[in-house]
């Protein structure tokens, strides 16, 4: 299978020699990834996952998706961070953004909603009101089952499901994705006899979208997960070459590190399609949690063009020169829309009559590229021909591989996240939860 991705760094504002000089470091980082000799080596299962995934569990995922589609017209996915961002990104990229609002007869698959990624009672109450008149299933995703946001959301939803469907009826509608052997959620799932799927021990949450963590909701939404995995497999083959001159994934990782050394410490991931908004959110977690440590790291941020050109465009064009852009552009829409002619032509746009929106979108991209490069903003371009399950699978792997390599080039462990625990420890202490009592008084005095 050929690769679906192209990469262009002609506007990176770097000399070719700078990239060549980084070749030894890239080779070392490549070896650390593939020989499992670098920091965090216990979490490198994602590197070859598209070929090594459990086929039997993959089949169970497909079966469960079919069962859920028969049981329910809404699936609530409970999870935070990597437990929901990846699946939401893929679903929004590959389905109708207004799917939930389509007439019932046009919806072939359940609508997927998300919970457990915040602590807002308003959101919870609104979701509970929404699902009252629908048939519901739940997929709770958590390695431990003790992270506050998903744990509390699952408490509420489990009580709701048992009250509405009875204990046995709820059991048949609750699906758990968790650790294979241990943890509070695993223990509960075993006691209640929920159908359970495994989070691999050697794949961290932000790298887990191609595991059962992401695949079950994605399959429920009607997306071909066989094609998604085929695209990821194409990525494994395309991006395993250690030679930087022949590996666009490594070129991207290396160039962003070169720009970082030149003071470009803010990367803007740019898209020109609203359906890619949550892919950008997934990307931000991937790079933010992987590289933001030891007082190092590029700040990952994102913008949606052309929308944000009317909000952030001024800053990007003329603000501080501490940023660079990585643009993901899709050449061809799967749903072309032609621009009609208007006899009065008050808006002066008749020159575009008969053109497709894609044509205008590309010219907006090209014009923005020229303007921002003229303004001193380095630009990297990642191009897809079309948003398909196969292309998205490869794009996910492209960024996962680039992230691992980039973290090693930066000199950090890309596969841990010690800073995430700081807020949890303080919050749990202030809530008076067991094990944190000794900190409570200290924190309250500071408040």
Active site residues per annotation: 289, 424
Cβ–Cβ under 8 Å, residues 258 and 22: yes
CA end-to-end span of the chain, whole Å?
58
- Measure Cα distances from 149 to 75, 232, 389 in Å: 18, 30, 30
The gap from C-alpha 143 to its chain's centroid, in whole angstroms, comes to 18
Cβ–Cβ under 8 Å, residues 412 and 297: yes
Alpha-carbon distance of 189 to 167, in angstroms, equals 13
Ramachandran bin of 224, using left for φ above 0, alpha for ψ from -120 to 50, beta for the remaining angles: beta
């Amino acid at each position: 299978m050929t690769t679906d991705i192209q990469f262009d760094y002609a506007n990176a504002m770097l000399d070719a020699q700078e990239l060549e000089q980084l070749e030894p470091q890239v080779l070392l980082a490549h070896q650390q990834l593939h020989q499992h000799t670098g920091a965090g080596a216990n979490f490198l299962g994602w590197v070859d996952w598209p070929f090594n995934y459990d086929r039997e569990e993959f089949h169970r995922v497909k079966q469960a998706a079919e069962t859920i589609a028969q049981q329910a017209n809404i699936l609530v996915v409970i999870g935070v961070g990597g437990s929901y961002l990846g699946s939401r990104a893929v679903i929004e990229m590959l389905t109708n953004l207004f799917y939930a609002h389509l007439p019932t007869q046009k919806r072939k698959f359940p609508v997927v909603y998300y919970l457990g990624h915040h602590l807002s009672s308003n959101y919870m109450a609104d979701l509970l009101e929404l699902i009252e008149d629908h048939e519901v299933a739940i997929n709770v995703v958590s390695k431990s089952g003790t992270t506050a946001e998903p744990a509390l959301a699952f408490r509420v939803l489990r009580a709701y499901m048992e009250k509405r469907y009875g204990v046995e009826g709820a059991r048949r509608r609750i699906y758990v994705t968790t650790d294979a052997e241990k943890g509070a959620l695993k223990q509960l799932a075993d006691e209640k006899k929920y159908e359970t799927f495994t989070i691999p021990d050697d794949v961290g949450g932000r790298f887990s979208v191609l595991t059962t963590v992401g695949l079950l909701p994605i399959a429920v939404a009607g997306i071909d997960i066989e094609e998604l995995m085929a695209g990821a497999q194409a990525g494994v083959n395309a991006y395993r070459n250690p030679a930087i001159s022949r590996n666009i994934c490594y070129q991207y990782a290396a160039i962003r590190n070169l720009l970082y050394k030149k003071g470009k410490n803010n990367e803007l991931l740019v898209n020109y399609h609203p359906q890619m908004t949550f892919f950008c959110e997934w990307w931000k977690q991937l790079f933010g949690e992987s590289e933001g440590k030891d007082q190092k790291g590029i700040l990952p941020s994102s913008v949606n063009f052309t929308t944000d050109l009317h909000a952030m465009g001024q800053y990007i064009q003329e603000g501080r020169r501490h940023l660079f852009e990585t643009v993901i552009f899709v050449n061809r829409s799967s749903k072309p829309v032609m621009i009609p002619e208007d006899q009065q032509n008050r808006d002066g746009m008749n020159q575009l009559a008969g053109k497709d929106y894609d044509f205008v979108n590309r010219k907006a991209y090209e014009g923005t590229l020229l303007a921002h490069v003229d303004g001193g903003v380095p630009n990297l371009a990642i191009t897809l021909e079309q948003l398909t399950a196969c292309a998205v699978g490869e794009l996910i792997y492209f960024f996962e591989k680039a992230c691992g390599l980039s973290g090693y080039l930066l000199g950090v462990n890309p596969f841990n996240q010690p800073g995430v625990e700081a807020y949890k420890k303080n919050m749990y202490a202030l809530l008076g939860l067991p094990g944190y009592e000794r900190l409570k008084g200290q924190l309250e005095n500071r408040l």
